[in-house]
Amino acid sequence: MSRPILATIHRDALRHNLMVARRHAPESRIMAVIKANGYGHGLLRVAEGLSGADGFAVLSVDEGIALREAGYQQTILLLEGLFDATELAVAAQHRLAVVVHNETQLRLLEDAHGKHMVAVFLKVNSGMNRLGVPAGRFWSFYDRLKACKSVTGMTLLTHFATADEATGIANQFERFDELTREIALPRSMANSAALLRYPETHAEWVRPGIMLYGATPFADRCAAALGLVPAMSLSSEIIAVQQLETGSSVGYGYRFTATRPTRIGVVACGYADGYPRHAPNGTPVAVDGSATHTIGRVSMDMLYVDITDLPDAGVGSRVELWGSQVAVDAVAAAAGTVGYELLCALAPRVRVAHG
Ligand SMILES: *Cc1c(COP(=O)(O)O)cnc(C)c1O
């Protein structure tokens, strides 16, 4: 018997969510964003579920190579581009496309003099002010890349800061569209939020991430309402039961004190597994399929759930921390973060199974 915590990855859910993306953007090619180890689900596991995508976006050359070695023939894009000259040769060898977002990366390509050939996604800073070439330098980058012997093709790319918020994308979209609309090159703008909310941003390539994993990019719209199915369930078991009298407390810091006789299940899952330590009393959880909530402070390897009203629950009861009964976004909201962070933070020590 091993520790009962288990993450189950549902390939059918990945496939389903990819189909939802396609339904929203039927004219676009889909670049499935599988950075950060497939948002915590496992790079190759996720690639398998999303093998119907037209491309994959990752950060490192190593991830790109792993995908090629697994046999994927799609476009593979390095979202932050090359970090040094040695990476160019490797990227070229494995047909990895690269973002170009600054002068250093442009020079790497120019200095290669056609020795190593790559497809380029020129990233424009349309207002997020994270990565990208400012509008004022766009034409200079464009001309130099056009003239660059190492560049096999070019796509124009930008990224939105507030596609998931009330502010929307209008300003950034206008800036990018004005700069690029006359150019006969493919363009890519939309993350999940823009894909779902702003069809005008779809263009030739959309870049969904979070929605493919069945979590929501929005604070005000849940994944189920978007027709998405969670690709990860995190579950464990109750390994001990404690009976608290009124006035007794539980766990580090005595963060919970019983106001009635309270039955507590101790669950084999803690922050070292990736469960958020900031989850307060009342964070949703399901025990043997019934909704209840956490109490007390999350410890490294364990947390506590209230099973006072679940008389059949006890040692060995199955606990879903997040998945189909408890939305990861609901846990995240309680803990003051987003589903993205919880999924990515799944700890390497957690066993993973296919569902
Ligand atoms: C992570 C990322 C995405 C995907 O964003 P989601 O909100 O997960 O859909 C798209 N484009 C870029 C440049 C990214 O870094």
Which range of residues forms the domain containing residue 286?
Answer: 232-354
- 35 is known as an active-site residue: yes
From 69, 205, 208, 97, select the one nearest 153 (Cα to Cα): 97
The verdict on 37 and 110 lying in the same domain is yes
The residue among 165, 191, 217 that closes a domain is 217
The verdict on 199 and 259 lying in the same domain is no
* Residue 155 alpha carbon to ligand 1 centre in Å: 16
Residue 210 alpha carbon, nearest atom of ligand 1 = 8
- 142 is known as an active-site residue: no
CA distances (Å), origin 288, targets 105, 323, 330: 53, 13, 18
- For residue 295, name the pLDDT band (cuts at 50, 70, 90): very high
How many angstroms separate the CA atoms of 187 and 202, rounded? Answer: 9
Residue 79 alpha carbon, nearest atom of ligand 1 = 13
Provide the pLDDT for residue 279. 98
The verdict on 303 and 156 lying in the same domain is no
The verdict on 146 and 27 lying in the same domain is yes
Which residues are paired to 300 by β-bridges? none
The verdict on 183 and 237 lying in the same domain is no
The verdict on 211 and 244 lying in the same domain is no
Specify the CATH number for the domain of residue 293: 2.40.37.10
Number of domains making up the chain:
2
The verdict on 238 and 201 lying in the same domain is no
Residue 157 alpha carbon, nearest atom of ligand 1 = 13
Residue 227 lies in a domain: no
The verdict on 176 and 284 lying in the same domain is no
Assess contact for 118 and 105: CB atoms under 8 A.
no
* Residue 191 alpha carbon to ligand 1 centre in Å: 5
How many angstroms separate the CA atoms of 321 and 308, rounded? Answer: 18
Tens of pLDDT, residue by residue over 222-274, are 999 999 999 999 999 999 999 999 999 999 999 999 999 999 999 999 999 99
Tens of pLDDT, residue by residue over 157-204, are 999 999 999 999 999 999 999 999 999 999 999 999 999 999 999 999
Map residue 292 onto helix, strand or coil. Answer: strand
Pocket mutation for ligand 1, best pick of 191, 211, 328 (most atoms within 8 Å of C-beta): 191
The residue among 190, 217, 244 that closes a domain is 217
How many angstroms separate the CA atoms of 333 and 219, rounded? Answer: 8
**Which residues does a 6 A CB cutoff place in the pocket of ligand 1?**
33, 35, 79, 159, 191-193, 207-210, 217
Assess contact for 130 and 158: CB atoms under 8 A.
no
Asked if pLDDT for residue 286 goes beyond 80, the answer is: yes
Residue 191 alpha carbon, nearest atom of ligand 1 = 9
Residue 223 lies in a domain: no
Q: Kindly state the average pLDDT of the residues 96-108.
A: 98
The residue among 217, 241, 271 that closes a domain is 217
Catalytic residue among 123, 252, 254, 271: 252
Residue 251 lies in a domain: yes
Specify the CATH number for the domain of residue 202: 3.20.20.10
Q: Whole-prediction pTM value?
A: 0.97
Pocket mutation for ligand 1, best pick of 18, 41, 77, 79 (most atoms within 8 Å of C-beta): 79
Dihedral sign from CA coordinates of 111, 116, 121, 127: negative
How many angstroms separate the CA atoms of 208 and 253, rounded? Answer: 41
* Residue 103 alpha carbon to ligand 1 centre in Å: 23
Q: Kindly state the average pLDDT of the residues 83-106.
A: 98
Mean pLDDT of the chain, nearest integer: 98
- For residue 355, name the pLDDT band (cuts at 50, 70, 90): confident
Pocket mutation for ligand 1, best pick of 24, 31, 33 (most atoms within 8 Å of C-beta): 33
The verdict on 173 and 247 lying in the same domain is no
